[in-house]
Amino acid sequence: MKVLKWLDRNFEDVVCAILLVSIVTMLMAQVVVRFVFGYGLTVSEELCRFMFLYLVYFAASLVALKGGHIRVTAHLQYLSTKARLALLMVSDLLWIGFNIMVIWEGIKLIDGMAARPMYSGAMLLDMRYVYVAVPLAFCLLTFRIIQRWVRHFRGEISILDTQVVEEG
């Protein structure tokens, strides 16, 4: 149970940290190889691009978990607490609707790629493994938005705050 709680709070942190360290390490190796041997490693360049894509999407989920996404909220200070919560809920429902559309279209794209597979230039990696980042990350993003509202209604956090309140 403690492992699941830890994963719930730290999954995106760990994934983003691993991806970032891997990208920096590979780019540094690329610089050294280019300087010492005079040529580049196309595989590492391509892999860094793919990992960066995953990093961006998982970081978006991390920010949703922490409640730190950019919002235009200056006008909310003039509203009552109930009106602010209602407006934030409507905006999050619209956001979830957008996410569901992206998930659906991402799944259709990946499914369509099964009939005519595409492969990356250097690694010859099936591009479906790269594109799966989109529906996967948007599923996680949607889950984190809903999870934040559930925590709000349970009294664990305030949705009006920008950061998650740590428990015990």
59-109 per-position pLDDT tens digit: 998 888 887 777 666 677 777 888 888 888 898 899 999 999 999 999 999
Q: What percent of the chain has pLDDT over 90?
A: 33
Instruction: Take residue 51 and report the two structure tokens written for it.
Output: 């990992």
Alpha carbon distance 49, 44 (integer Å):
9
Work out the number of other CB atoms within 10 angstroms of the CB of residue 52.
13
Query: For residue 166, which phi and psi values (nearest 5 degrees)?
Result: -75, 140
Instruction: Check residue 41 and give its pLDDT.
Output: 79
Residue spans per domain, the chain: 2-154
For the ranges 12-16, 112-116, 163-167, the lowest mean pLDDT is seen at 163-167
Confidence of residue 24 (pLDDT cuts 50, 70, 90): very high
Average pLDDT over residues 3-25: 88
Task: Write the CA distances from 149 to 15, 47, 138, integer angstroms.
Answer: 23, 36, 17
Q: Give pTM, 2 decimals.
A: 0.80
Mean pLDDT of the chain: 85
For 26-61, the pLDDT digits (tens) are 999 998 988 888 887 788 888 999 999 999 999 998
Q: Say whether pLDDT at 162 is over 70.
A: no
Instruction: Check residue 161 and give its pLDDT.
Output: 66
Instruction: Take residue 85 and report the two structure tokens written for it.
Output: 């919560």
Q: What percent of the chain has pLDDT over 70?
A: 93
